[in-house]
Chains A and B, each alone.
Chain A
């Protein structure tokens, strides 16, 4: 008989590395046509972080995301970056990119101030223009200012910035200290159906409620959560590298190492928890890794709710669940016999 269960699991996860320095630098150039170029040493590994960085730079310069071209991952041209690791790109590289864009913006304010007959501190960058605060009609197009800076005043608006999260080394005796600048939090709830005769589990639905500070791009956050859950489903139910007695892998291929496919994916409902981290770029933290953290725990708690057995070692294969159910039934039979 197929039995349904539900399971909840929450988690916390830090942004960046433990204690070890974790810096990123960035360079932003504002071009003559009002577009901008970002140089970053990070790498696009499919997660969409270059788009996030472009959005951060665009926001700071008051231009559109499409106006920012990102040059990345070339040691001859791009500045130091600790890399696409530890869910750090939005927070650390994002802060560096924002600071670099801010510097370029302030350079443009210096150029635009005499053009508009005001002081630099009276200006803001908004809707593709350098605008006098409170006087939206007094403005100059970003491209005109950037061009003026290049061909008339002579200093092109090129800003560089860096960010290195402040940490405090852990005490070697007690482990006390400040290992990370900030953390994110999340909850996932799984609904499963377990066949109590075969032990086979189907994940029907996962509700995922994730904190990432300000979502710079909600669509990319949702994409990360869905991808993380697919990894979590594999970790929970299927995937395992097996070794023979001599220490050689026996299933190093996709025929025998079974990963979830799109057909194994549950219905996923993603919610982004409203939050703002004042230390992140525009309040953002990160979301990459945390998305796969609580999935297996939620699924195993749901299995327990459905058929009353506790899986203590992953993956929760049908065989393992079947054996646990059999053992539980045998124990119940023994108790009834003893009582009788």
Chain B
């Protein structure tokens, strides 16, 4: 197609559409701060106001979606919408013919189409296989965001659909088809063994068992994932990105693009919320390749739905607890099994698995312990880093279990925790000697502030 003609006919409308909305003129104080010797030192322990509070408060903070670069194109990504399938055919011709569309790419245009913080099992754009419904299958760069979105509708993809694996307990079974066959569905395993678990249970006054499950949730940062790529005439690439970890993110981007790291500059702006969700690359290689193909700056910002189905989420965990205690409520032995729903790709699952497995015994001294954790593939949204890396899930497990034990033994919930709490010099489940331990102090301080007295006062329905 003759892009020159196309650009020509659209020039005026294009320029109008591309122009950013004029920012309201908000006058703000512009006094220059000079170093003031009377300013307070020492600095540590002060309730200092953040310097960015001023720019946030005045609405002056610029997020990537506020950036506009002359000639900039807008990218949108076509999502699979099927959870498990083989891609038979992708037809982008109709989209490419649309006025205002400048380039379309698919998985085959990504030089090294795989990435991941540990296992490199995630494609930038799905090629041949789709592993979850939020997978990208093609990307469009157009002169306006609306044209890019409309062009996605003109891309047709033929799939051979497979039955998706959705339940992590099914995925665990040997007869279940591999999500990433020939790789096994269990892609991570962790075992922590300490003391003599059988002896601990044999000596117990009572043994309690319970199972708990948690759900999949999203980080929901105010600012969705966004990136803007531009190449210069010397073949150097600059990407503005919402990444929370730029130095390692740059290594992943360099790998997918097949160019040296030194040719790439990553600039992270003020990020509008991370919570673990912006710790790996998403749109960066896509905008980089679209920018390379078009010779123009390209920006892509996730829509809110994409934020849900195409970025990472929190691991649902299925937890089985078995705990042996003395009459006084002291834990003698605890056995735990965790199954983490790892979603379609590994992402940060290995760290989550490790933290969940180490932390799931709770902040308690337990001499005899077995904790075993598995993470499995399913054809669902990938699960990854999210505030707490498995800890909120297992805390729901061990603390619900603790209250049930306390109630059955007739011990106050505060008291049973004080009797078992880790202390200075206690050994952790991995037999690490702990320092600066204040479980007891935090329990007593919270109880005092709350006004926690005596046995449970609530209505015992």
Contacts and interface: CB of A to CB of B under 8 A. Distances in A.
B interface, over-half SS: loop
A46 to B, nearest CB: 5
B438 A185 contact: yes
A199 interface: no
A309 B459 CA distance: 12
A51 B214 CA distance: 35
A131 to B, nearest CB: 12
A248 B83 contact: yes
B176 interface: no
B50 A243 contact: no
Interface in A192-245: 196, 205, 207-211, 213-220, 228, 231-232, 234-235, 239-241, 243, 245
A185 B363 CA distance: 8
B196 interface: no
Contact of A277 (B371, B404, B435, B442): B435
Contact of B452 (A6, A9, A177, A257): A6
A34 interface: yes
Interface in B206-245: 210-218, 220, 243-245
B157 interface: no
Contact of A82 (B215, B245, B265): B245
A86 interface: yes
Which residue of B193, B309, B413 has the most chain A CB atoms within 10 A of its CB atom?
B413
A141 B38 CA distance: 12
Nearest to B37: A128
Interface string A296-307: 111011101111
A275 B41 contact: no
Which residue of A10, A85, A205, A254 has the most chain B CB atoms within 10 A of its CB atom?
A10
A174 B388 contact: no
Interface residues of B, number: 128
Interface stretch (B4-12, B148-156, B266-274, B286-294): B266-274
Given A74-B267, A83-B246, A249-B133, A241 B218 contact: yes
Given A3-B458, A51-B50, A312-B211, A11 B83 contact: no
A331 interface: no
A76 B238 CA distance: 10
A275 B436 contact: yes
Given A48-B50, A246-B82, A10 B215 contact: no
Given A63-B41, A81-B247, A83-B247, A241 B388 contact: no
A17 B351 CA distance: 7
Nearest to B314: A235
Contacts of B450: 6, 189, 191, 205, 207
B445 A271 contact: yes
Contact of A75 (B246, B350, B389, B396): B246
B278 A126 contact: no
A253 interface: yes
B387 A288 contact: yes
A182 B435 CA distance: 7
Interface in B420-440: 421-422, 428-432, 434-439
Interface stretch (B95-103, B105-113, B329-337, B353-361): B353-361
Contacts of B404: 310
Contact of A55 (B44, B274, B388): B44
Contacts of B381: 241, 249
Contacts of B40: 64
A238 B364 CA distance: 29
17 contacts: A5-B458, A11-B359, A12-B422, A43-B245, A65-B46, A73-B246, A75-B246, A177-B432, A179-B432, A247-B164, A248-B133, A257-B218, A297-B399, A301-B413, A310-B400, A314-B213, A315-B215
Given A43-B271, A66-B39, A183-B434, 8 more contacts: A81-B245, A175-B357, A179-B354, A273-B445, A289-B389, A293-B392, A296-B396, A315-B215
